[in-house]
């Protein structure tokens, strides 16, 4: 196997199949040419079957449907050659037409299986994009192939139905092919061969239908894309990457590539462009078809735009959440805390409510990190944040209309609690109850300050900080209340410290868990 994943059998198939396809086009019209054509088509189908059996993909059903469809088409080719060179008739409709038309639902089912296996049924945007492109192609098919084929079939109902079924079948297969292209699975070599093979055969089929509207097709360059399509589909099944063709991949929720945007733009302009071209050439106007296609395309574009707007709004909301939230703990971050404090100051002044700020700092956090590791330190921050937030909800600090509270991470192991509607002593007691809920056998020290009207936020935090560091100097594991500037911080009135009841994590070998300080309350 080479670095690109091609195997000797695959290289042989491509070389022989490509050479025979070129020779077939160069041969004069006759039984020998059609025999070679049948050899290439039947041989490619056999290679497809061999590839599926060799590689045994997880989603083999879609591959076998594809093999069945191409085998049906190749059998139709053989039957048509039999009619032409052995029986010397060219009937329409014939048994060959039944085989050709039976190929379309089989191919569509195969490509539909690939789409589903690659997660396409969950991608609404891809479905809408495929629908836009399909409607545009359906309009083009109606103008150039479907209506002219039906009219050229004469008065026979069966002949008119069969004549219209060929362009309709091409639209069906193209719709599934485009849907496959809009899925998020891997673009493997097998995927590219599969898409190229289907595209070449659709091109040849549509070209043949268009040419036969004006004249009998007796052979020419249209034969080459048909045969190359057979060879490409055989290569798709023979390439080792066909095992991963049906693997689904996650795609970004938002994003439109330039190629897809260009294709959608062309599809959107095709409807008015068709009408303008018919007016310019003085051709028969397809007013109803163009009008109907325009309405459907407009509605599909609106659906697509609503999806894009929804993705943009979702992304904007996520960005706003990231800007307001601490990534580790999920609490509000410092920016949000500053904004909330300013809002609460306005409300406190307007409603005459007390406003307190508490600064919490985990005790001996560096020692905890050094003992248990930074991952354990992060886990402690997350657990402590969750425990304190749950305690605040239980205490009703955030729920009554007359009160408001916000717990925010200020940075490192430092947190800030904003409490509206709590007097200083009540706020101190509440913070002390949070201290007792600290998990992992840890504790914190805190300073609490009550906002004085017209006091700057910096001055308020400075007093709370001073009380916090006074609590640290006094032995940690305590809450002190800040008085006016220059006064000594004091514990909450009638306060009592108690130790936590959580179990500390097991220390690593050779280490010792940090001990908690005593449980008595110091007075200053």
CATH at residue 435: 3.30.70.270
User: How many CA atoms, within 13 angstroms, populate the side-chain half-sphere of residue 43?
Assistant: 18
Q: Give per-residue pLDDT as tens, 134-152.
A: 999 999 999 999 999 999 8
In 239-286, where does DSSP find H-type helix? 258-281
Task: Indicate if 143 and 32 belong to the same structural domain.
Answer: no
Task: Indicate if 238 and 341 belong to the same structural domain.
Answer: no
Task: Indicate if 342 and 446 belong to the same structural domain.
Answer: yes
Q: pLDDT value at position 156?
A: 86
Q: With cut-offs at 50, 70 and 90, classify the pLDDT of residue 403.
A: low
Q: Give per-residue pLDDT as tens, 364-383.
A: 999 999 899 999 999 999 99
Instruction: Give the residue from 21, 13, 67 showing the smallest Cα distance to 40.
Output: 21
Q: Examine residue 359 and state whether it is found in any structural domain, yes or no.
A: yes
CB of 433 closer than 8 Å to CB of 496: no
Q: Examine residue 281 and state whether it is found in any structural domain, yes or no.
A: yes
| Count of domains for the chain | 3
Q: With cut-offs at 50, 70 and 90, classify the pLDDT of residue 45.
A: very high
Q: Which of 443, 466, 481 is the last residue of a domain?
A: 481
Q: With cut-offs at 50, 70 and 90, classify the pLDDT of residue 521.
A: very low
Task: Please provide residue 308's backbone torsions phi and psi, each rounded to the nearest 5 degrees.
Answer: -65, -45
Q: Examine residue 515 and state whether it is found in any structural domain, yes or no.
A: no
Name the residue with tokens 């959580």.
502
Q: pLDDT value at position 251?
A: 55
Tokens representing 105?
Answer: 């639902």
Greatest mean pLDDT among 12-21, 213-222, 277-286: 12-21
Task: Indicate if 257 and 166 belong to the same structural domain.
Answer: yes
Q: Examine residue 365 and state whether it is found in any structural domain, yes or no.
A: yes
d(CA 413, CA 401): 30
Residue 7 DSSP SS3 = coil
d(CA 450, CA 436): 22
Q: Which of 481, 500, 519 is the last residue of a domain?
A: 481
Tokens representing 402?
Answer: 């007359």
* Percent of the chain scoring above 90 in pLDDT: 60
Task: Indicate if 131 and 13 belong to the same structural domain.
Answer: no
Task: Indicate if 16 and 94 belong to the same structural domain.
Answer: yes
DSSP 244: G
Q: Give per-residue pLDDT as tens, 230-248.
A: 999 999 999 999 988 877 6
CB of 118 closer than 8 Å to CB of 247: yes
Task: Indicate if 314 and 350 belong to the same structural domain.
Answer: no
Order of strands, sheet of 444-450, starting from the edge strand that comes earlier in the sequence: 404-411, 414-420, 355-362, 444-450, 479-481
Task: Indicate if 105 and 215 belong to the same structural domain.
Answer: yes
User: Could you list the residue range(s) of the whole structural domain that residue 70 is in?
Assistant: 8-118+186-245
CB of 437 closer than 8 Å to CB of 431: no
Task: Indicate if 223 and 262 belong to the same structural domain.
Answer: no
Residue 486 DSSP SS3 = coil
For 313-348, b/e burial (b = at least 16 CB within 10 A) is: eeeeeeeeeeebbbeebebbbeebbbebbeebbeeb
Instruction: Give the residue from 194, 215, 214, 196 showing the smallest Cα distance to 204.
Output: 196
Question: How many other CB atoms sit within 10 Å of the CB of residue 141?
Answer: 21
CB of 428 closer than 8 Å to CB of 490: no
Q: pLDDT value at position 522?
A: 32
Task: Indicate if 293 and 415 belong to the same structural domain.
Answer: no
Whether the per-residue pLDDT at 400 is higher than 60: the answer is no
Residues 6+ apart with CB under 8 A from 110: 62, 63, 64, 65, 66, 68, 69
Q: Examine residue 401 and state whether it is found in any structural domain, yes or no.
A: yes
Task: Indicate if 221 and 301 belong to the same structural domain.
Answer: no
**Averaged over 474-496, what is the pLDDT?**
81
d(CA 448, CA 425): 9
DSSP 78: H
Task: Indicate if 175 and 191 belong to the same structural domain.
Answer: no
**Overall size of the chain counted in residues:** 524
Exposed / middle / buried, residue 45 (Cβ in 10 Å: 0-12, 13-18, 19+): buried
Q: Which of 294, 324, 354 is the last residue of a domain?
A: 324
Tokens representing 343?
Answer: 């809002």
Q: Examine residue 381 and state whether it is found in any structural domain, yes or no.
A: yes
Q: Examine residue 34 and state whether it is found in any structural domain, yes or no.
A: yes
Q: pLDDT value at position 428?
A: 95
Q: Examine residue 374 and state whether it is found in any structural domain, yes or no.
A: yes
d(CA 149, CA 166): 9
For residue 416, what is the enclosing H or E element?
strand 414-420
What does pLDDT average to over the chain? 86
């Amino acid at each position: 196997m080479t670095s690109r994943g091609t195997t000797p059998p695959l290289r042989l198939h491509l070389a022989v199949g490509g050479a025979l396809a070129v020779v077939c086009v160069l041969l004069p019209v006759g039984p020998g040419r059609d025999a070679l054509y049948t050899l290439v088509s039947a041989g490619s189908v056999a290679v497809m079957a061999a590839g599926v059996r060799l590689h045994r993909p997880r989603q083999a059903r879609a591959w076998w449907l594809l093999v069945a469809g191409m085998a049906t088409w190749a059998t139709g080719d053989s039957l048509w050659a039999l009619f032409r060179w052995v029986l010397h008739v060219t009937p329409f409709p014939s048994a060959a037409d039944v085989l050709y038309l039976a190929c379309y639902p089989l191919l569509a089912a195969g490509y539909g299986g690939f789409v589903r296996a690659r997660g396409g049924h969950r991608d609404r945007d891809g479905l809408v994009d495929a629908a836009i492109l399909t409607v545009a192609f359906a309009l083009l098919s109606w103008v150039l192939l479907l209506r002219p084929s039906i009219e050229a079939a004469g008065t026979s109902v069966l002949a008119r139905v069969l004549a219209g079924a060929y362009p309709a079948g091409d639209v069906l297969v193209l719709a599934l092919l485009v849907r496959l292209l809009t899925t998020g699975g891997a673009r493997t070599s097998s995927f590219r061969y599969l898409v190229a093979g289907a595209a070449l055969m659709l091109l040849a089929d549509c070209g043949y239908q268009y040419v036969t509207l004006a004249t009998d097709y007796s052979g020419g360059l249209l034969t080459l894309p048909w045969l190359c399509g057979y060879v490409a589909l055989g290569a798709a099944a023979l390439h080792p990457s066909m095992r991963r063709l049906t693997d689904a991949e996650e795609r970004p929720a938002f994003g439109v590539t330039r190629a897809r945007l260009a294709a959608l733009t062309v599809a959107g302009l095709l409807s008015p462009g068709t009408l303008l071209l018919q007016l310019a050439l003085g051709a028969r106007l397809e007013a109803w078809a163009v009008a109907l296609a325009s309405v459907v395309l407009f509605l599909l574009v609106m659906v697509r735009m609503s999806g894009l707007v929804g993705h943009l709004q979702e992304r904007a909301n996520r960005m706003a959440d990231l800007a307001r939230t601490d990534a580790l703990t999920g609490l509000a971050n410092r920016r949000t805390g500053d904004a909330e404090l300013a809002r609460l100051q306005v409300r406190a002044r307007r409603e005459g409510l007390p406003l307190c700020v508490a600064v919490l700092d985990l005790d001996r956090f560096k020692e905890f990190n050094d003992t248990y590791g930074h991952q354990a330190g992060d886990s402690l921050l997350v657990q402590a944040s969750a425990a304190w937030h749950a305690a605040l909800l239980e205490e009703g600090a955030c729920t009554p209309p007359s009160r408001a509270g916000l717990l925010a991470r200020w940075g490192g192991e430092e947190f800030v609690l904003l409490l509206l509607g709590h007097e200083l002593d009540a706020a101190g007691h509440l913070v002390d109850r949070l201290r007792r809920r600290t998990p992992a056998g840890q504790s914190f020290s805190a300073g609490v300050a009550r906002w004085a009207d017209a006091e700057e936020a910096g001055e308020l935090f400075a007093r709370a900080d001073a009380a916090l560091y006074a609590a640290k100097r006094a032995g940690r594991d305590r809450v002190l209340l800040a008085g006016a500037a220059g006064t000594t911080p004091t514990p909450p009135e009638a306060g009592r410290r108690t130790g936590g009841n959580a179990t500390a994590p097991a220390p690593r070998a050779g280490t010792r868990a940090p001990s908690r300080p005593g449980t008595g309350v110091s007075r200053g």
